[in-house]
Structure 1
């Protein structure tokens, strides 16, 4: 299962930029909750190996 580590909002033009520092190894992904006009979507996961 996945845990939410950060919630962000886009700019007025829909641009999104964020960073999160990984503290543990694991699979990480991005999830968009959706809007009235845009459906929700979740990216594929990437594995991060924290050194």
Structure 2
């Protein structure tokens, strides 16, 4: 997965250029040093169902 970040007006600001593999049963750091209040969405490489937890 990768993260896309959005401006306060809702317009896309930036998407990470590469995807990171998040394996079952392991915590995976996708982004660091993200400021409080920044809007983001997770982007997946597939449309298949994904289940997990996010610590933001």
TM-score range, shorter chain: 0.3 to 0.5
TM-score by length of 2: 0.33
**Higher relative contact order, chain-length normalized (CA < 8 Å, sep 6+):** 2
| Normalised TM-score (structure 1) | 0.34
Q: Larger Rg: 1 or 2?
A: 1
